[in-house]
Amino acid sequence: MAVVLRCFCTYETWELVIEKTPTLLTEMIPQFPKFKKLELSDRGDVEEFTKQFPPYSDFNFVSMWSWDIKRDMVLSWLNQNLVVRFTDYITGEPFYSFLGETLLPETAEALLDFSRRNGLMPMLKLVPEIVAEKLGKNIFNITNDPNHTDYVLSTEKLRTYEGTELSNKRREVSRFIRLHTDFRFATLDINSPETNKNIWRLSAAWLAAKDSRRAVEEEHEFLALHRCLESSLSSGLLFTGVYVEEILGAFWLTEDLQNGYSISHFEKADSKRFPGIFAYLKQQMATVFSQRGIDYINLEQDLGVEGLRRSKNSYFPQIYLRKYTITKT
């Protein structure tokens, strides 16, 4: 059975046709109101379920695992929907979200009531648009959360940087090539001690150069990268980078998904030392994506950080995967 999922953005209506198969709910993830902690062994079950839907970053297993620094993320099934309890790493407050297509208003009602009875704010966050649009505005307050909208780029546009809107990216690439003669794009072996040393050197330099007002967020991202690399999550991941005079100047960790999609997990660069290196890395990776049958790359959200928002929008995304906050009216 095929279904068409539609997402609306500034430039177009995007249709993703997915062949749906009956959802198999395993006993490893319990039925609500029971929960279990997220474990590496849950990867297969989570990915088998989420591949039926657009690639919202918050429900991507690698992302969930990497950012679960305090090991307090839990999972459950409710009405054949995947329920996740996240924790806001700034405020430390837990909250619930869910993904699915069955009895959605009833599921939202149950989770809001469960939150209230357990001393949490009766509020659901990071609820995907494909869920929120089916809840009913006469029953729920449905508020867009722009800080967590996923930016999805066309890999073909990245490969060519064609058009007036991407002329700045062409100039950045030209500047990088003009300023440097000894550079190379490469696939990185994360099992190599030398590569790991270079990755952590670049990451530490990036962290040290960042705005101290965002120290908590940036340190959390550093820990998330460490958790990802230290785990056995290599399946489906692609680690690439750019060396300048044999110095690792940028790296990008992505993951191939279903239906011609990839998702960006971590990207870092010494852009002050090597201007234009990010634009060059993305263009080189777009060729790799094309060879792997990848049409779109999800750059994830900007978390309300103005610099990140400008950077992601500078690539003129094809698709925005929006998320919502839900409360009762």
Q: Are strands 2-8 and 13-19 parallel, antiparallel or unpaired?
A: antiparallel
Confidence of residue 221 (pLDDT cuts 50, 70, 90): confident
pLDDT by residue (tens digit) across 252-285? 999 999 889 999 999 999 998 999 999 999 999 9
**End position of a domain, from candidates 113, 131, 148:** 148
The answer to whether residue 326 sits within a structural domain is: no
- pLDDT-based confidence at 231, cuts 50/70/90? confident
Instruction: Fill in the DSSP letter of residue 35.
Output: -
For residue 33, tell me if it sits in a domain. Answer: yes
| pLDDT over 50 (residue 10) | no
Coil, strand or helix at 19: strand
Beta-carbon contacts of 34 under 8 Å, excluding residues fewer than 6 positions away, are: 76
Answer yes or no: are the C-beta atoms of 319 and 9 closer than 8 Å.
Answer: yes
180 falls within a domain: yes
Grouping H, G, I as helix, E, B as strand and the rest as coil, residue 242 is: strand
Percent of the chain with pLDDT over 70: 90
pLDDT of 207 > 80? The answer is no
How sure is the predictor about 212, in pLDDT bands with cuts at 50, 70 and 90? low
User: What six digits make up the tokens of 262?
Assistant: 């990839």
Q: Is the dihedral of CA 126, 131, 133, 135 positive or negative?
A: negative
| pLDDT for residue 217 is more than 70 | yes
Q: Which amino acid would we find at residue 194?
A: E
What is the domain extent for residue 216? Answer: 150-300
Residues contacting 26, CB < 8 A, separation 6+: 45
Beta bridge partners of 37: 74
Q: Would you state the pLDDT for residue 50?
A: 96
**Residue closest to 242 by CA, chosen among 209, 218, 265, 271:** 271
C-alpha distances (whole Å) from 98 to each of 58, 105, 117, 251 are: 10, 11, 18, 32
H helices present in 77-127, as ranges? 104-117
Q: Are residues 167 and 248 in the same domain?
A: yes
Tokens in use for 289?
């994506």
Residue at 329 is within a domain: no
Closest by Cα among 84, 15, 73 to 49 = 84
- Decide if 172 is inside a domain: yes
Please report, in angstroms and rounded to a whole number, the separation of the first and last CA atoms in the chain.
Answer: 35
Q: Which helix (H) or strand (E) holds 237?
A: strand 237-244
191 and 296 belong to one structural domain: yes
Q: Which of these three, 148, 183, 198, is where a domain ends?
A: 148
Q: Is 11 found in the same domain as 140?
A: yes
pLDDT higher than threshold 90 for residue 61: yes
User: What per-residue confidence (pLDDT) applies to 22?
Assistant: 43
Residues 14 and 107 in one domain: yes
Quote the longest CA-to-CA distance of the chain: 63
- Determine the average pLDDT of the residues in 140-148: 97
Are residue 57 and residue 185 in the same domain, yes or no?
no
**SS3 state of residue 174:** helix
Same domain as 107, residue 12 = yes
- Tell me, yes or no, whether 139 and 171 share the same domain: no
Together in a domain, 166 and 98: no
Beta bridge partners of residue 144, listed in sequence order: 324
* 183 within domain boundaries: yes
Tally of domains within the chain? 2
Give yes or no: residues 136 and 156 share one domain. Answer: no
Distances (CA, A) of 265 to 13, 295, 301: 25, 17, 11
CATH number of residue 266's parent domain:
3.40.630.30
Q: 28-39 burial string, b = 16+ CB within 10 Å, else e? A: ebeebeebeebe
Q: Does 319 reside within a domain?
A: no
117 & 234 share domain: no
The side-by-side arrangement of strands in the sheet containing 150-154 is 183-187, 237-244, 247-256, 261-269, 296-298, 150-154, 319-321
Residue 217 domain-assigned? yes
**What confidence tens digit (pLDDT) does each residue in 277-317 have?**
999 999 999 999 999 999 999 999 999 989 899 999 999 99
Residue % of the chain over a pLDDT of 90: 74
Please give the pLDDT value at position 7: 42
Are residues 43 and 92 both part of a single domain? yes
Residues 38 and 129 in one domain: yes
